[in-house]
Chains A and B, each alone.
Chain A
Amino acid sequence: MNRELYGKLIFELSHKGRKGYKLPNTGVKASMEGVPAELLRSTSPALPEVDELTVVRHYTNMSNNNFGVDTGFYPLGSCTMKYNPKINEEIATDPRLASLHPDQPTYTTQGALELYHTLELYLSEIGGMAEFTLNPYAGAHGELTGLMVIRAYHEQNGDSKRTKVIVPDSAHGTNPASAAVAGLTIVEVKSRPDGTVDVDDLRPLLDDTVAAVMMTNPNTLGIFERNIPEIASLVHDAGALLYYDGANLNPMVGVARPGDMGFDVMHINLHKTFSTPHGGGGPGAGPVGVRKGLEHLLPNPRVVMNEDGTYGIEYSDESLGQISGTLGNFAVCARALSYILSLGRNGLKWVGPLATLNANYIKESLKDKYLLPIDGVCKHEFVFDGLKDKSTGVTTLNVAKRLLDFGFHAPTIYFPLLFHESLMIEPTETESLETIDEFISVMSRIADESIADPDMVKDAPHNTPISHPDDTEAALHPVVSYFELSAQ
């Protein structure tokens, strides 16, 4: 990483009179004539004035202060940071796809609609669902959409008192938030020590006010909910629907399908399971699938295949409504389809097993030095409750920061909340034995350092572009733009 070039903001590289653009010659003289002055800005936005090379260097240097999957191992639990194949980028940026306007007549976008429809079919096959919508823009957006499907289902049945959603206390934080936004009240169900749902605790909660139960399977501790068939029938007997949070779908790919487990509605994070790049936090995509009988509730607009084999776009009154301005993050969907085709059925069947093998191998290799609260086979990820020997006061945060010094991204920390020192590791299937062995040896070394030289570990990281930033100060006196910063 480039420590020397670190620092300046693009605004600080600005010089009056420089420019980094040349607009096309349209043949019409530039003018705002026709727009009354009182509708125009009276002050100009203070954007930087820079030449093209300055911009290129600035952002290239900035990229050197970043860490991606292409940089190194990224075992961030619940985020499925697998390799993002390059062919997918080439496909997604093809102008034959990228230059289509969303309002073009459908007879001029048949290829794009076929792409949408094909991915929708493939996801339905993988999820064991009847139909998918690709409209949701992200995982959380998918969750929200899925819960709206569920509410629409009960509404259309005239079942208006179903306003509760049951969520395990080990769930991803977005579950209760999505439920709240969808106008549902959250009821937490306690999990057993391994994070799985306690059927006996669940049973009395299931009454005629419950709209849905949201589950992640395997759960956030990487443990498969083996009682899922029983849970599904309990939920269905109570007249509620079962929602599958697709955040942890990866270990199930090639192995088992949420639809077969009894889930009615699910979302998939294409940026996790189907390898579209995370982009520093987006754009992702959160397609939502439903079992047979719920298809009509999916959001507008819907892509349909006509009888003559052509594709169209439909808006239906039975739908839950529109949840996105467009048909979703189309270019992200193109990447996911490219990935599925590159793997094919013979590749896909190894995704879950190899991800699971990698996770178990790390778990078994490190459980002597890190506290493993739940023994036994995990799925694609597992959680350590910090170091085994905590006598020197080295925390999970310290371990995470020390890992950065060795060129590894940190695991997810302090989640799930079931343990105080959670360290959640997800290696994915695309990492080699050598990479994993190196990670294990570094983790092991950090555990030793924590005893031999705890202060050094607590002071980590030592060789990253910046040292530990003061986030209390950032929250206490928020400075959230350059103009506030330069006014200081």
Chain B
Amino acid sequence: MLHRYFPHTEEDISVMLQKCGLSDMKDLYSDVPEQLLLGCDYDLPDEWSEKEVRDFFKRLGDKNRNLTCFAGNGYYDHYSPAVISAILSRSEFLTAYTPYQPEISQGTLQYIFEYQSMMTQLTGLDVSNASMYDGATATAEAMMMTIASVRKRNKVLVSATIAPQVLNVMKTYAHYHGVELELIKEKDGVTDKSDFEEKICKGDVAGVVVAIPNRYGILEDYAGWADMIHRNKALLVMNCVASALGAVKSPGEWGADIAVGDAQSLGMPLNYGGPYLGFMCATKALMRKIPGRIVGATKDKDGKRSFVLTLQAREQHIRREKATSNICSNQGLMALYVTIYMSLLGTDGLKEVNELSCAGAHYLAEALVNTGKVALKYSDKPYLNEFVVVTSFSVDELISKGVEAGILCGVKLSENEMLIAVTEMRTREEMDQLVGLVSKM
């Protein structure tokens, strides 16, 4: 045996070579010019046993600090039911590829169909794709989708209150794809409505992108926006934290055409950045402009309900040179993750998650302000579970004191501003501990 992952014995190899009319393994590469052959082993460690692999990763793991998390900024520490990891580890799901053969892929196809159904409920829109990479890339894709959907327009407006990592990714895609991306100014923590009105009325805008909640945790009021955008023949794109949509007004209710965002907040582990899950939903009118895969219901030859990848032809792999998206597959297993999460929590559970997070955040904000050491930066704006404090001390110092105490106090915005998030995972004791730290600053 060469290795535990390779079943070939020396005898197998010689039988197989013989069948191929070859005498040596080297003959398999006789077409590779000599000077390109490696000729030696990689400069890498030798084969390890599982024990050594475990020891290595344990050593790495021990160099990290697991902290009680008050950080958000788009990614949240929510409760994750044990059922999910148990189902996700089923290798029929885990080790399958994109469901190209529907007859033996109904498991994948059906959960994607369920996922799509749930996402349309959450966003209040008609159609969902099978998921995308993450919230930032999904938003960039939505930006390109508006350009592809509104003829002869190449400009997209984005609110300055969208999360910075989302904006950065949009800027990159816009630059290379040739989209004119223009910022709508921020005013007191929310999108400047007069700046928006001035810009949309020029009549050259394909899409407008805003956030729910915004980068400061604020829930902005978008009443009247959709009408004005539609009057100017543009599309409204809302970038959302998926979990929040269990309670706050949905993109559909605001009149949006496209909803995108990250679904990490639906119980997914933080995983130091991934894998997460981008989602995208749209109105029925835009169904054929949605990038990525979509699963549809149909019947098999015997009349049995079945699910297939559908609207495939519009995908880049067939109409390739004119592609406005190059996304091939989806974030399959992560779509299963949130599907199971939403099945378990249901309507009420998702609402309760928001109520607990919201109540916790408001409790913590008040207690922090009461220390006299911090103030809420946007005290007159409604927020869900995340808020900005202005500190009278160095944010770095608090963060480092927090780490000593096993707490991740929040995300630093500047030397004296910090973004703090609360989920249903944070107990009153933990919040009081954070308040204690702040009061000693």
Contact = CB atoms under 8 A, between A and B. Distances in A.
Bind each other: yes
Nearest to A29: B359
A244 interface: no
B77 interface: yes
B255 interface: no
Interface in B304-353: 304-308, 310-313, 316-318, 320-334, 336, 339-340, 342-353
B320 A177 contact: yes
Contact of A281 (B19, B108, B427): B108
B276 A325 contact: yes
Closest 9 CB pairs of A and B: A326-B273, A96-B61, A66-B107, A27-B428, A279-B333, A111-B63, A344-B47, A68-B95, A321-B172
A29 B352 CA distance: 10
A467 B77 CA distance: 43
B271 A100 contact: yes
Interface stretch (B26-34, B193-201, B202-210): B26-34
Given A20-B349, A34-B358, A332-B274, 9 more contacts: A21-B81, A47-B350, A59-B336, A96-B64, A104-B272, A223-B31, A356-B28, A467-B304, A480-B116
Nearest to A70: B91
17 contacts: A35-B384, A49-B348, A97-B64, A97-B271, A102-B272, A177-B317, A181-B144, A182-B177, A224-B32, A255-B29, A281-B108, A281-B293, A282-B329, A433-B7, A433-B8, A466-B300, A469-B102
B91 A71 contact: yes
Interface string B61-76: 1111111010101110
Interface stretch (A83-91, A198-206, A385-393): A83-91
Contacts of A158: none
A295 B49 CA distance: 34
A3 to B, nearest CB: 10
A83 to B, nearest CB: 6
Interface in B360-381: 360, 362-363
Contacts of B441: none
Q: Which of B33, B90, B306, B308 has the most CB atoms of chain A within a 10 A radius of its CB?
A: B306
B112 to A, nearest CB: 8
Nearest to B15: A433
A257 B59 CA distance: 31
A101 B68 CA distance: 10
A209 interface: no
A189 to B, nearest CB: 14
Contact of A26 (B27, B295, B426): B426
B393 interface: no
Interface string B4-35: 01111000110111011110010111111101
Contacts of A36: 382
Interface residues of B, number: 211
Interface string B92-120: 11111111111111111011011011101
Given A224-B32, A228-B36, A63 B90 contact: yes
B103 A480 contact: no
A180 B322 contact: yes
Nearest to B396: A105
A94 interface: yes
A122 B44 contact: yes
Given A226-B33, A256-B36, A325-B262, A105 B177 contact: no
Given A23-B352, A429-B6, A50 B346 contact: yes
Nearest to A122: B44
A126 interface: yes
A68 B321 contact: no
B90 A60 contact: yes
A261 B403 contact: no
A171 to B, nearest CB: 9
B188 interface: no
B106 A465 contact: yes
Contacts of B340: 55, 59
Contacts of B50: 87, 342
Contacts of B408: 101, 104, 108
Interface stretch (A235-243, A444-452, A471-479): A471-479
Given A280-B93, A478-B311, A47 B326 contact: no
Contact of B43 (A125, A360, A481): A125
Contacts of B106: 6, 62, 65-66, 465-466
B171 interface: yes
Given A55-B340, A255-B37, A325 B165 contact: yes
Contact of A283 (B87, B91, B275): B275
Contacts of B427: 24-27
B363 A28 contact: yes
B213 to A, nearest CB: 9
B206 to A, nearest CB: 16
Contacts of B436: none
Contact of B97 (A62, A79, A255, A467): A79
Given A39-B382, A280-B96, A354 B6 contact: yes
Contact of A104 (B65, B245, B295, B343): B65
B156 to A, nearest CB: 15
A282 B334 contact: yes
A282 B115 CA distance: 15
Interface string A7-46: 1011100000001110111111111111110111111111
A114 interface: yes
B91 A344 contact: no
A475 B313 contact: yes
Contacts of A182: 176-177
Contacts of B437: none
Contact of A49 (B71, B136, B298, B346): B346
Given A282-B334, A481-B117, A461 B95 contact: no
Contacts of A233: none
Contact of B41 (A256, A346, A483): A346
B185 interface: no
B273 A328 contact: yes
A153 interface: no
A176 B320 contact: yes
A44 B294 CA distance: 24
Contacts of A471: 102, 298, 308, 310
A23 B79 contact: yes
B100 A76 contact: yes
A350 B108 contact: no
A191 interface: no
Given A35-B382, A140-B328, A229-B35, A343 B248 contact: no
